[in-house]
Amino acid sequence: MRAIKAGWLISTYNEIQENFGLLLENGRVREVLPNQRIDRLVEEGVLTAAEVLDRHESIVFPGFVNAHMHQYGVLSHGIPQAGDVRDFDTFLTNYWWPLIENRLRKEQVLITAEYTAAEMIRSGITAFCDILEAPFTEDDTLIEQGKLLERTGLRAVVSLESSERVSEENGRHCLRLNAEAADYFAASGGTVQGAICTHTTFSCSDGFIRMAESLARERNAILQFHLSESRYEPDRLRRERGLTPTALYDQLGALGENTIASQCVKVTEEELELLRRTGTRVVHMPVSNCEVGGGIAPVPAMLKAGIEVALGTDGYINDFFTVMKEAFLIHKANEETTEVMSAPEVFRMATEFGAKAMGLPDCGRLQPGCQADFAVCADAFPTPLTAGNLMDQLVVHGKSGYVTDVAVGGKMLLSDGALALLDEGGIHARMRECARSFWQGVR
């Protein structure tokens, strides 16, 4: 057994205790108990002092879950933009697809995966769901990416976005690679799992979506796709078929509790009801939605309807404190009221709802029986912490620089501010050289 003492313990979004800690056993939370009782266990010889992580002046909380991520996306940070870009359509067809996605290969995937893994750990993230968008990458890329992520200690979902934008044959090939990775990681039983991933209703035929849904259902795996990131997809589908994207997915049997619909920026009330009724998981990307000019997703309405909305970085800005701040603030401005998106609600999206979306029901909380996936935030705040302001302090004023420790299944990934399993200096150097080389092909 091991234990951790906290100044403030956040077990769930609505359960905060001062001077409490955790007793851990076999990678899980055995008991939530006062720090004084942990001290007595040491005095009685049940624990040794070395088995207690003393963070009695810090906040201990469930690790964040980044439910939608593109690890390779770090390559685009500051990249020279080329091509004629006027709107969402030309962004994809003239720039992103030919100059970024089509040029990705295994080398870039592995380097960016290692770099962003370190970046996420420092942000207090313990689990994430990745979507690789690389239709021409080597056949073993997805499995090799997953193997690398297992070595980092993080929990992860890996998937390869599949569509028919290149060709029907290429799309089917990518679906097969998803299925192979899902089977491989299901058999390995580690911290990584596979998923089946498609793109959108405008890049995938009905038959293709049905095929993806069948592959996911056969494996009890996650099916994920982007849904109405901007007006482009819903406007096009209504014009061509008189349907909303959500209604089409419902007709094709692709909605449900094992489905992750990411973005959901331009969705109607009728679509929200379909998502709620089917139990489909939704992931909100407040920061990247601003970057692409897609709009502001109706998240307060989703939550009010009973949809469990998770948070994601989209590979754009991977600091989860930034994502939480944006989710907390942007909807207040959009709806012109402070009575939406409370700090506890945002924290729940960042932890418990993200864990559910990833199929990790025993993560996102620090209660008996749950996985010992936690992060520690130093009390470096300029104003005092209280039971009444703690959640606001963490969500609105927290910083990645305050995170000192991160553990997954009780295994330390960050300890006293140092990465335990990764060579950060070497990773950074490889990332810089990878980006420099990759950018040379963008003209």
DSSP track, 187-254: HHTSSEEEEEEB--TTTS-HHHHHHHHHHHHHHT-EEEEEE-SSSHHHHHHHHHHS--HHHHHHHTT-
Give residue-wise pLDDT tens across range 332-374.
Answer: 999 999 999 999 999 999 999 999 999 999 999 999 999 999 9
Q: Return mean pLDDT, the chain.
A: 96
Sequence spans of domains, the chain: 2-62+374-408, 85-357
Is the pLDDT reported for residue 376 higher than 70? yes
Strand, helix or coil for residue 369: coil
Please give the pLDDT value at position 85: 79
Please give the pLDDT value at position 61: 98
Rounded average pLDDT over 251-273: 98
Please give the pLDDT value at position 64: 98
Is the pLDDT reported for residue 87 higher than 90? no
Please give the pLDDT value at position 95: 86
DSSP string for 254-307: --STTEEEEE--S--HHHHHHHHHHT-EEEE-HHHHHHTT-----HHHHHHHT-
CB burial of residue 64 (10 Å; 0-12, 13-18, 19+)? buried
Q: 85-357 has which CATH code?
A: 3.20.20.140
Give residue-wise pLDDT tens across range 232-244.
Answer: 999 999 999 999 9
Higher pLDDT, 90 or 20: 20
Q: How far apart are CA 66 and CA 314, in angstroms?
A: 9
Please give the pLDDT value at position 443: 65
- The H or E element that residue 137 is part of is none
CA–CA distances in Å: residue 241 to residues 207, 230, 231, 244, 274: 15, 18, 15, 9, 18
**Backbone torsions φ then ψ of 215, nearest 5 degrees:** -60, -40
According to DSSP, residue 75 is labeled G
- Residues of the chain with pLDDT > 70, as a percent, come to 100
Looking at domain 2-62+374-408, its CATH architecture is Roll (2.30)
Please give the pLDDT value at position 438: 96
Is the pLDDT reported for residue 80 higher than 90? no
Evaluate whether 2-62+374-408 and 85-357 have a shared fold. no
Give residue-wise pLDDT tens across range 178-196.
Answer: 999 999 999 999 999 999 9
Q: How far apart are CA 429 and CA 72, in angstroms?
A: 16
Please give the pLDDT value at position 404: 98
Global pTM value: 0.97
Please give the pLDDT value at position 375: 98
